[in-house]
Every structure is written in structure tokens, then in C-alpha cells.
Amino acid sequence: MKRKLWLLLAGASLVCLCGATGLTVVGRWSFLRRQPPAVANQTLFAGVVYTREVRSSPRPLVVHVVTVDLRQPGVSLLVTPGNPDGERSLRAQTTSAFLERHGLQLAVNGDGFTPWYSASLLRYYPHVGDPVDPLGFAASQGKIYAQGNGVAPTLYISRNNRARFNLPIGAVYNAISGNLMLVAAGKPLPEALLAEVAGVLQPRTALALDKSGRKLIIVVVDGRQPGYSEGATLPELAEIIIAHGGFYAMNMDGGGSSALVMADKNGKARLLNSPIDQNIPGRERVVGNHLGVYAAPAGD
């Protein structure tokens, strides 16, 4: 009886392992058949403009840029609210789930978080709803829920939609951190470009402000998808940001966490970029916090 039970369990484990391996193989090969998307420039919502660049040199690269006019009536921002009753400050969720839960029009992944590991399709953390902490400072609608280490760069957004890096405007309202500043006064920062990981090709997410502080610029670069989009270095990311008007910018959590979504007419999330988690293109990672945008329909 014990031998039969052992054989059944072993067989079930093998089926699960083969299934997971098969999904990974399918994911790795699927992008080899993908054609690059078309370039795009369109107004998604009032005050929210989306641009997609498709490059072939120095390697295949798909770049997504969203420019948000913070003075546009109807535009406001939201950082993922904390979880005050939990063992950690957040419950993990995908960027799409965050958008749908709060009725947002646009959302992007945010800060790095802990704990996190990704060994295989069967061994990873966090799953949906698991407790995590952001690595940096974080606040949502006036409630501070993470202090970070005091050195991470932070984007502060006031109650009346004024934004600034590293120094709040009045009382802290919404705030989200990244891992390093990329651009200051319209120039790439040397210390960021010399960082240990600066030359590695990765999917990337960055937040920037233009010189006036009126426009928030969200940049997401797809990566880890050979022949489709192979990722950017930090110097390349800084150049992209500056080319799109970024005057100050910080790097956010990237890699498999990079995700950019918008709401369709029914409020359901639609991916604008091609995230990659567990080597599967289009698979969103469950992450810690996010930055969301409320906006009126285009033409209003």
C-alpha cells in the first residue's frame, strides 16, 4: 500500500514538473516567432499620452513611454495603499490587479520588495496576497507605511498633485521609492551609470519629471525576449528618459517586475508592455507596490 502511494505521489510530482518545464520551454520559444509591435503615439486618456518606440539597433528593443500632465483636470496619482493589519506592510499583487482593484486608468510597477525569490514555476515568492515590504520609503493618501533605509531616492506627490524627487512638497501624501537616481538637471548621473549592474541588459522601469515638474514620465523597456526586445543598460535608459523630456529620473524595480497596464472601456487591465516572469513572455510578476493614474476619458 505504501509503495503504491509513493508511486502515485512520485508520478504526480513528475507530471507537475514536466508541465512546469513545458510551460517554461514554450515561454522561451514563443518570442522567437513574435513580430515586433507597431510604433504608436496616442492619447489614452485626458492628459495621458502613450508612445511606443521600436528599435533594431544596437539590438531589438521595445520602449514604452507614458507622459502624464499633472495639471490636467481629472488626473491624480495613487501609490499602493499599505496593509496596516498585516505582518508586513503590503500584500503582493500584480500591477493589473492593483489597477482593477482601485479603478485606475493606468498603472506601473514600483519599488523593489522583500522577501522575494524565483527558483522555478513551482518555487517562488511572493504569490498573490503574500506579505511583503517595499525596500524604500512609501506612503499612500497621507499614510506612511514604510520608512526604508533613508537613502533610497523617492518621488513625492502632494495632495494637490505637485511632484518632486527627494523632498516632499508640504505634508507627505503619496510617495514611492526607487533604487537609484538616473538623471539630474537633464544629465545622466555618473554614479548611476557606473553602478555594478549598469551595463547589464534588463527589462527596465523608470519614473521621471520634466523640467517644469508638470509632467510625469513613465518609461518601461521590455527585455529578456531575444529577437523581440532584449533589454537596456542603465546608460541607455537614461538616454531614453532625457530624449523624452525627463529632467530628473529614478530607476525602479525592473527585470521580471516591469509591467505597464491600462484600463479598457470596461475597467479591465490591458498590458501595454510585454512583461516576462519565469521566462514566460506576457506573464506578470506578483510585486509589492505600484504607481497608478486616475484620468478622465480622452476628449473630456
On the 0-12 / 13-18 / 19+ scale of CB atoms within 10 A, 84 is exposed
- Cβ neighbors of 97 (< 8 A, separation 6 or more) are 128, 269
pLDDT, tens digit (0-9, with 9 covering 90-100), for 9-51: 444 443 344 444 444 444 444 545 688 999 999 999 999 999 9
- Extract the C-alpha cell encoding 274: 510585454
Mean pLDDT by 10 residues, the chain (300 residues): 43 43 46 82 99 98 99 98 92 99 99 96 96 98 95 97 97 98 97 85 99 99 98 97 99 98 98 98 98 94
Give the domain ranges of the chain. 34-294
Model-wide pTM > 0.85: yes
State the amino acid at position 139 in one-letter form.
A
| pLDDT of 33 | 66
Q: How many CB atoms lie within 10 A of CB 16?
A: 12
For the residues of 1-59, what is the DSSP string, one character each?
A: -HHHHHHHHHHHHHHHHHHHHHHHHHHHHHGGGPPPPPPEEEEEETTEEEEEEEE-SSS
Chain centroid offset of residue 86 CA: 23
